[in-house]
Amino acid sequence: MGLVLAGSFILFLIVGVPVGLAIGCSGLLVVILSDFPLAMIPQTMFSGNESFALVAVPFFVLAGDILAKGGISERIVAFAQATLGRFRGGLSIVSTVASMFIAAISGSGAATTAAVGSALLPELKEKGYDVDFSAALIAASGTIGVVIPPSVPMVLYAVIAGISVAKLFMAGFVPGFLMGLGLIAYSIYVARKRGYPAAGRSSGAEKWRLFLQASWGLLTPVIILGGIFSGYFTPSEAAAVAVDYSLIVAFFVYKSMDFRKFYRLVVGAGVTSSLIMFIIATSKLFGWGLAFYEIPEAVARVMLGLVGDNASLILLMIMVIILLAGMFMETASALIILTPIFLPTVTQMGVNLVHFGVLITIGLAIGMATPPVAIDIYVASAITGLPIEKISRPIIPMVLVLIAVLLLVTYVPSIILSLPMLIWGPAGI
């Protein structure tokens, strides 16, 4: 029956069935063939969305959209440009640094790519930067959007694995910073090799003016994460606070938002959130089939049979599977499917679940910049008008840099766990 579950799912994907329906139909098929009462289907699906932590998902999606399209991202990019643009290839550095800032606001790879790309790509083209390289760099930098908190995939993983969202958020900072540092180092190398110019110096007064303008947006992650880690509110409450704060800034400070634009953002966030919730509901049914027929345990036995009890090789195998899944599936869908499959294996190996949560998030985030299903590349393509293949070629070395960071944090867990351990102690992780 396990083969029926996996085979039907793959078959549905091949024929073009949307991921959420493919997951649900596979689970439905197994229930019918197993002769279980059909009443358990809606009961199981409903239970998948019962977690209070999931309240954060639509709020973080909406907050990210407001911040990305409410004039906040443009001011952050302008401040980063004034600060770092004076270096050779400074605009390419700005692209990554701005992505890191906006990642701490949006929680979305696509939103980060869209915000930075819209603001910087025309400027990069004007200064003589190759358009394909610039688009690739911004698309690759967009992957940081789901690693630096707040992060919707981390919320989903925390619900599935039954661990603290706050600990996952704290664990995402250092690897997200390393991803950005790796891309900055590569962009500096390319800038010097190709002779990209500096953007020019900005006066201290100009930098201060731009900082004051951007400070409202920069306060967002401070309010969200500071509130969570200080215990003033839960991650779900923090998401609602993020929406309230972003609306105040967009409507009354920057005055870049009107009710018509807000309505469109609410509708868009509602559609996105409903798709995520539907996938979660259907995956609960799929997960029931996995658990009932002990498929995760079977996967664990296969892996152990192939490489013995070598934890390093098993982790490498898991990372390869995650990277491949990210190439062909949307991040949330892949995470919801793969997490229940690999949790028994990593638990048996003694891998910390916070550590693994960040690893699977990074691995699937890299998939956002890896064709064929590369949402960040599609966004960059839409902004520049370049075909996908033009961006896919220069992004290859950037993806390799990100994979190198993934391998580093895989085999040096202290990099990920250092901040959570600093706050909660070794016993609390």
Whole-structure pTM value: 0.84
Q: Tokens 């992957």 sit at which residue?
A: 143
- 41 vs 28: CA distance, rounded Å: 7
Query: 90-121 as b/e, with b when 16 or more CB fall inside 10 Å?
Result: bbbbbbbbbbbbbbbbbbbbbbbbbbbbbbbb
Q: What is the pLDDT of residue 198?
A: 67
**Helix (H) and strand (E) counts in the chain:** 20, 0
Q: 252: Cβ–Cβ under 8 A, 6 or more apart, which residues?
A: none
Q: Considering only residues 200 and 154, tell me which one the structure prediction assigns the higher pLDDT.
A: 154
Q: What is the mean pLDDT of residues 204-224?
A: 81
| Amino acid at site 98 | A
Compute φ and ψ for 70, nearest 5 degrees: -105, 20
| Amino acid at site 425 | G
What digits encode the pLDDT tens for the residues 215-265?
887 787 788 778 877 778 877 788 888 888 888 888 888 888 888 888 988
What digits encode the pLDDT tens for the residues 396-418?
999 999 999 999 999 999 999 99
Q: 423: Cβ–Cβ under 8 A, 6 or more apart, which residues?
A: 170, 229
Taking the domains of the chain in order of start, what are their residue ranges?
A: 2-428
- 253 vs 70: CA distance, rounded Å: 10
- 121 vs 134: CA distance, rounded Å: 7
- 336 vs 358: CA distance, rounded Å: 14
Show the DSSP H helices in 202-330 as ranges.
Answer: 204-230, 235-248, 259-292, 295-307, 311-328
- 371 vs 392: CA distance, rounded Å: 7
Q: Residues 402, 179: contact at Cβ < 8 Å?
A: yes
Q: What is the pLDDT of residue 401?
A: 96
Closest CA to 139 of 417, 411, 394: 394
Q: What is the mean pLDDT of residues 158-178?
A: 90
Length of the chain as a residue count:
429
Range with the largest mean pLDDT of 12-16, 202-206, 313-317, 424-428: 313-317
Q: Considering only residues 354 and 302, tell me which one the structure prediction assigns the higher pLDDT.
A: 354
Its sign, for the CA torsion 188, 191, 195, 199, is negative
Q: Residues 358, 319: contact at Cβ < 8 Å?
A: no
Its sign, for the CA torsion 112, 113, 116, 118, is negative
Cα first-last separation, the chain: 37
Q: What is the mean pLDDT of residues 190-218?
A: 79
- DSSP result, 184-208: HHHHHHHHHHHTPPP-----HHHHH
Q: 118: Cβ–Cβ under 8 A, 6 or more apart, which residues?
A: 383
Residue-averaged pLDDT of the chain: 82
| Residue 230 buriedness (CB in 10 A; 0-12 / 13-18 / 19+) | exposed
What digits encode the pLDDT tens for the residues 30-69?
888 887 787 777 888 777 677 766 777 788 788 777 876 7
Q: What is the pLDDT of residue 59?
A: 82
Q: What is the pLDDT of residue 199?
A: 63
Any idea what DSSP says for residue 143? G
Q: Tokens 């002769």 sit at which residue?
A: 35
Residue 123, pLDDT > 80, answer no
CA distances to 192, 302, 344 from 289, rounded to whole Å, are: 54, 19, 15
- 27 vs 340: CA distance, rounded Å: 14
Copy the structure tokens of residue 118.
């819209």
Q: What is the pLDDT of residue 175?
A: 95
Q: What is the pLDDT of residue 126?
A: 77
Q: What is the pLDDT of residue 113?
A: 81
